[in-house]
Structure 1
Amino acid sequence: MKKMKRKIPNFKNEDEERGFWAIHSPLDYFDSKKFKRSSFPNLKPSLKSISIRLPEDLLVELKTLANKKDVPYQSLAKIFLAKQIILERESLSSSSGRRKEKVAA
């Protein structure tokens, strides 16, 4: 016989609800078999500020390129980093595939 899930109480305010969920597990109130995968395409990724030291000539070049493209230099730096990370990831995944082929041979 299946165990019945508990009924979620009605809350007077958000503080009461927050206090309730702080000490209760949602798994006692929801059937995990009925969960559905969700996507939130309009959410912006959270950003973290970092400090990075760059040679002055590199920073000047970055700012010059950004000015020509009419974008903030920080945004251009993020674009360059993202592209390079994708290239590196692809390079690593393809080289690990080649290593596996060599081992199998």
Structure 2
Amino acid sequence: MKKKMPHFKSEKEEAEFWRKNSPLDYPDEFKEVKTPFQFSVEFLKKMAEEHREKKKSVTLRIEPSHIYITKIIAKYQGDYYQALFRKWIMQGIRGELLHNPKIKQSIRASNIHLLNR
């Protein structure tokens, strides 16, 4: 059954709807445009900022040698060591999700989205 797009009373209501729904669920509601459309750089930066997940500070006890080595690796990669730790944590999470579908199912049931970072 094809979904019909609802009518919106305000831009705020429409924005909330699209935050929770995908245009791919409404393929018959859109027309193909022959002229390509481009967003301004300022608009794209603003959207990226608004949709970036906020980070929460946590305390971890990590061996000083691991921190030291991570700082060296980060320096060679041109990144901050904290960002490298976050990257490694995300890689570990993705690895767990690949090897344990029940965890992935539980995360989906919680409506938590893992962004591609």
TM-score by length of 2: 0.46
Q: Counterparts of 1:93-104 in structure 2 under 5 Å?
A: 93=101
Q: 1:52 aligns with which of 36, 57, 60?
A: 60
Distance 2:17 2:69 in 1: 48
- Deviations along 1:21-41, one digit per CA (max 9) or x if unpaired, are xxxxxxxxxxxxx983426x6
What is the aligned partner in structure 1 of residue 19 from structure 2?
A: 38
Q: Tell me which residue corresponds to 2:98.
A: 90
The AA in structure 1 aligned to 2:19 is S
Task: Provide runs of 4+ in structure 1 moved above 6 Å.
Answer: none
Aligned residue among 81, 84, 88 for 1:80: 88
Mapped partners of 2:61, 2:19: distance in 1 = 39
**1:46-70 alpha-carbon deviations (Å, 9 max, x no partner):** 1101111101111111111001101
Unaligned runs of 5+ in 1: 1-33, 95-105
1:62 corresponding residue in structure 2: 70
- Aligned length in residues: 63
- Aligned-partner Cα distance in 2 for 1:52–1:36: 38
Q: 1 or 2 for the larger relative contact order (CA 8 Å, sep ≥6)?
A: 1
- Distance in 1 of aligned mates of 2:17 and 2:77: 42
Question: How far does residue 93 in structure 1 lie from its aligned partner after superposition?
Answer: 1.2
Between the aligned residues of both structures, percent identity stands at: 17
1:3 — aligned with what?
A: none
Q: Which of the pair has more CA radius of gyration?
A: 1
